């Protein structure tokens, strides 16, 4: 069975773009994001958050730190 999905960019859509966060504490999720994801799910869609983190490749954030943020 196929499931429809909505892909949401993380920085600037779900949370404030704070540059290259190195911990979850630096992520500032917009208050409306929680309700928006609930509405997407209630409508029968899977909400998928995506992000392009070039800071790892540039050495500005460690991959391990990014993995902890995404848990």
Q: Which residues are catalytic?
A: 9, 11
Long-range contacts of 7-12 (CB under 8 A, 24+ apart): 7/48, 7/49, 7/50, 8/37, 8/47, 8/48, 8/49, 8/50, 9/49, 9/50, 9/51, 10/49, 10/50, 10/51, 11/51
């Amino acid at each position: 069975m196929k499931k429809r999905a909505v892909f949401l960019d993380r920085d600037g859509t779900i949370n404030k773009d704070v540059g290259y966060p190195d911990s979850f504490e630096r992520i500032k999720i917009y208050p409306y994001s929680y309700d928006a994801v609930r509405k997407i799910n209630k409508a029968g869609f899977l909400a998928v958050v995506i992000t392009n983190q070039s800071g790892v490749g540039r050495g500005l954030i460690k991959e391990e730190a990014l993995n902890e943020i995404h848990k």
